[in-house]
Amino acid sequence: MGNGRYRVTTARGYNLFDVASALQKSIRRNKADTAVYFALELYASGYWQYAWKRLLVISAEDCAGCITQEVKALYDSFVTVNKNNKKMDKPEGRLFLAKAAILLAQAYKCRDADHAIIFLYDRQKLTDEEVSEFLRELQPQEKIQEIPEYAYDCHTAKGRAAGKTKEDFLKSESAALKPKVQGLFDGFIESDG
């Protein structure tokens, strides 16, 4: 105790909130070993629910893509392993917690969700007029969207009538991927021709 505040500590004597901060900051910096250490410190200290909560928040706040589903799947596995565990003060499955920390540390990072909350809503970087204009643009328009030309390929009657082939499809759709991650079989498409 000090300054009228209760100090919550972990098994090894760390301040609980310092451990949570170290976990998140380590994940942001791709320091998987440090992230796992602090995730397991929370686990060993009986704060495993808090550890999972932090990892789920980190997945949405600091990581790009749909990584939250991966963390949720690891949490669900943790729950499954402990299904018949009557003593949840000492749950099994710290492996899943460690795996989640590693996965998050290695994930691409992007703070767009948190920044959007801060800058677009909390600090109101958009005026009410800009928000209203955006909402108007979302309303259904009288004009009917035309089907783009690229939709007509070998899988459609119009595309086949125009002579579109499977080879055309493979090349054009591979080139159109955005953002693109190198695929295992991209070399076949690029060398075919």
The domain spanning residue 41 has which CATH number? 1.20.272.10
End-to-end Cα spacing for the chain: 73
Whether 58 maps to a domain, the answer reads yes
Q: How high does pLDDT run on average in the chain?
A: 84
Q: Assess if residue 174 is contained within a domain.
A: yes
Structural domain for 102, as ranges: 16-106
On whether residue 2 sits in a domain, the answer given is no
In this predicted structure, the answer to whether residue 139 has a pLDDT above a threshold of 80 is: no
Give the per-residue pLDDT at 127: 74
- The pLDDT value recorded for residue 193 is 46
Rounded to an integer, the average pLDDT of 77-83 is: 94
**Residues whose CB falls within 8 Å of the CB of residue 182, separated by 6 or more in sequence, listed in order:** none
Mean pLDDT of 4-22: 88
pLDDT at 2: 46
What pLDDT was estimated at residue 145? 58
- 23 shares its domain with 100: yes
- Placement of tokens 């009986």 in the chain: 46
Residues 98 and 160 in one domain: no
- Tell me the pLDDT tens digit for each residue of 118-138: 777 776 677 778 777 766 776
**pLDDT per position as a tens digit, 40-52:** 999 999 999 999 9
pLDDT value, residue 5: 67
This model's pTM is above 0.75: no
Q: Which bin fits 65, alpha (ψ -120 to 50), beta or left (φ > 0)?
A: left
In total, how many domains does the chain have? Answer: 2
Structure-model confidence comparison of residues 189 and 175, the more confident one: 175
Same domain, 20 and 95: yes
Structure-model confidence comparison of residues 99 and 65, the more confident one: 99
Q: pLDDT, tens digit, for every residue of 16-38? A: 999 999 999 999 999 999 999 99
Report d(CA 164, CA 142) in Å as an integer. Answer: 32
- Residue whose entry in the numeric block shows the structure tokens 């706040």: 61
pLDDT value, residue 10:
93
pLDDT at residue number 3 = 52
- List the one residue out of 10, 12, 66 whose CA is nearest residue 42: 10
Q: What is the pLDDT of residue 143?
A: 64
Q: Is residue 8 part of a domain?
A: no
